[in-house]
């Protein structure tokens, strides 16, 4: 899938507070500017979205364990009650 310039510009505009972080990350990964990095990132996300999703394993239902109540000690004499 092709990534358009408007998609790249929207992605960069939506970064706001993360713009400096993503710019540093783009430089570290060898991109000359943030737009090339964003185009690559959006293309990879589109590839992953196009692939057939893997089967999810069946999830076993959660059963609640019944907690045993502790027996209350009954005193044998009348003075401790």
Tens digit of pLDDT for each residue in 8-28? 999 999 999 999 999 999 999
Residue 59: exposure state from Cβ atoms within 10 A (0-12, 13-18, ≥19):
exposed
Q: pLDDT averaged over the chain? A: 82
pLDDT score, position 38: 94
Q: Which residue's entry shows tokens 């076993």? A: 60
The more confidently predicted of residues 80 and 39 is: 39
pLDDT surpasses 60 at 81: no
Q: Tell me the average pLDDT across 68-73.
A: 73
Q: Which two tokens stand for residue 36?
A: 């090339």
Q: Which residue's entry shows tokens 């364990």? A: 65
CB atoms within 10 A of CB 11: 19
In this structure, are residues 8 and 43 in contact, taking their beta carbons and an 8 Å threshold? no
Distance CA 68, CA 73 (A): 15
């Amino acid at each position: 899938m092709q990534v358009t310039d408007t998609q790249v510009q929207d992605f960069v505009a939506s970064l706001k507070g993360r713009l400096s972080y993503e710019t540093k990350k783009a430089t570290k990964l060898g991109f000359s500017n943030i737009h090339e990095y964003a185009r690559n990132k959006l293309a990879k996300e589109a590839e992953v979205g196009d692939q057939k999703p893997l089967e999810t394993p069946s999830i076993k239902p959660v059963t609640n364990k019944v907690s045993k109540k502790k027996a209350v000690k009954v005193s044998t004499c009348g003075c401790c009650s």
